[in-house]
Structure formats: C-alpha cells, structure tokens
Amino acid sequence: MAAGRPTWAEVSLRSLRRNFRGVQEHVGKDVAVCAVIKANAYGHGTVRCAQALEQEGAEWLGVTGAEEGVVLRDAGVRARVLLMTGCWQGEEDEVVERGLTPVIWDLEHLERLEQAAGKRGKTVAVHIKIDTGMGRLGVSERCFTALLERVRAARHVTLEGLCSHLASSEALDSAEALEQARRFREAVAVARRAGFEPKLLHLANTAAVAARRDCWWNMVRPGLALFGYCLPLTGEKERAGPRLQVEPVLSWKTRVLALRDLPAGRRVGYGGTFLTQAQSRLAILPVGYADGLDRRLSDQGRVIVRGAYAPIVAQISMDLTFADVTRVPGVEVGDEVVLIGRSGALAIDAAEHARLARTITYDILCSLAARVSRRYLE
C-alpha cells in the first residue's frame, strides 16, 4: 500500500492518446484538432496531458487564458496554444513573449496586443470570436466590420482565425444552433468580402464534433471527448453518421479506512439521515466533498469493492464517506475501492455521478481536488 492518504486518481495517457486519434480520424486529416485542456485538463492534469497530446501529434491546444498557457510553455510544450477567453489587461506582454495565440473580440484587445508586439518587433496572430447568439463573448455583427478594419491597419497583429461557440450543439434539432451556424457562415463571408482569408475557422465543440459535420469547418475544439465522454445527443439526427468512439481516461480510487458493525436502528453520519434497518457493516472511506466527491451523491451513489457494488449511505462529509458493505463478503481495511472507473465487468463513470447529482459530467471531472494525487499510466 502506498504511503500517504489513500485517495488517488489514475489517468491513462494511453486512453487520452487513443481518444485524440479517434477524434482526428472522425473529422479527417483535413480538419485540425485543437485539443481543449483548460481547467487543469478537466481535472486530469494540464501538463502531463498536454505533453501526451503533443507527442501524439496535436498541433493546437486550447486553454482558458494566459496563465494556463504560460504553465505549458514553462513545461516545454511547443504546440500552438489558443487562449480561448483572450488575454486579461496586463498579460499582453507575456502573450507575445511566449508565442501564445489569443482570441479577441474588442478593439481594446487589439490595441494592447499591437503595442506589446510592436515594442518587441514581433507579430502576434489572433483569432476573432464572433457572438453568433450565445450572448457571452464575441464581437457583435454590428461591430465586426470595424474590428476587421482595425486589424487591416495594424502592423503587428494578423488575423489567423475566426471562431464562435455553440450554446446547444447536443440538441441536433435546435433552431438556435442552426441559426448560430448560419450567422457564423455570414461572418466568414463578411471577412472574405473585406479581403481577409482566415486560415482557421472553428465552431465545433465535442457534441458538434460528434454529430454536426456542417460545423466542422477546418478546425474543431473537442474537450470532453478527449477525456472519454460525449454529451447525450437529442433530435432527429441522433442516429445519423458514424459514432465518435471514446473511452474514459480517469479512474478515481480510495481504500477502506475502517469498518463498523452496527445493529439495526442506528443513525449514522451528520444529521443521522441514514438509519440501519438490520445488522449492518459499513466501510469508512477516506474521501469526501473536499476531494470533489459531490455531496449530492449522499444516499444516492455507489462504489465498487471486492468485485461488487456497494451503496454510498449517510451524508458525505468533508473527508469521509460511508459505504454499506453488508452484502459484500470479506471486505477488509485497506481494500481498494473504485469511485469512478472499472473493476472487472463492473463500472461507474463520471456521467453516472453527474446524473445522480443532477449536474453535468464537466462539473464532476473539474471538481476533482488538487489534494487527490494523480498517477499517470502510460
């Protein structure tokens, strides 16, 4: 048994590489894949995942902002790094110096980058984000032409790409998604009529990669798919075309810390929300909501121990969780327990946690705490 608190995540870099290859094969060699690894690679670990993806041939990596991009450069990652929420005021010097590629949508962004690049005698490539209807980030249709004209006048900023983001790409019959796709096509046409020919055009996230070929253009931005999950698709087109095949990259495990044999009628845990109905054996696990185990899984979720499912009972606390192992023979202190992952024919994935906690798979993965050590498997 390894020293230290026995709660850890195993990250299969082999599965990550396989998922990347699967996405690339799905969209074809003429479509670039920007591997999105923001938010600590959705809880999987930014640097190790970036290195594995770069080794597998990823030429683009997508992160939130400059801070994440600098971490990659410091680790020796040389792939192009797209800053999907641009660069915050004061970061432009670092962006230019480190060769990062910001998304912009405002004249002020352009002016700061122009000044920073000019001081260094360099040129910075940018991607302009279009607000096609999500209403979050992006230049409006009304202001797009003015931004293009300012790019034309810039001496140290070049337009490399145009992009946008779909709000509901998993709903295949969504009128809103179709309208967003139409608006993006129009923005591309506006740029071309203005004399620009952006090298890269990208709109598709994981769900659109899986099922919206008309949104691929010549770059796609899968995130969740790289880590083994696709959102459930809805709508008439759900069964059309080849399926994107991916496999979960992360497993989450702990060990039995203690065992308690309790009689019928005993209340257990905070608030005494669980009442034993018969003589029961409960395993105490050294994992809790401070590790990212969603508290809403209390009396809802399950774990795998000794080749059997065991329900999570009582309230999940900050550092500890109860599992009812009454029906699992032979459980001992130190036994491995699977929170997310596979054991023989049994499996629990992050999507199951999300369904039971009434949240989304992204939330489950991104909530995995830093104190949960990551072990990388080649």
List residues with catalytic annotation: 38, 270
Contacts of 38 (CB under 8 A, 6+ apart): 62, 63, 64, 68, 84, 223
Nearest to 183 by CA among 234, 224, 142: 142
3-class SS letters over 179-202:
HHHHHHHHHHHHHHHCCCCCCEEE
Q: How far apart are CA 257 and CA 305, in angstroms?
A: 13
266: which strand partners? none
Contacts of 240 (CB under 8 A, 6+ apart): 211
Residue 70 tokens read as 């600098």
Specify the pairing of strand 32-36 against strand 219-220. Answer: parallel
Q: Could you count the other beta carbons within 10 Å of the beta carbon of residue 22?
A: 17
Tell me the CA end-to-end span of the chain in Å, nearest whole number: 21
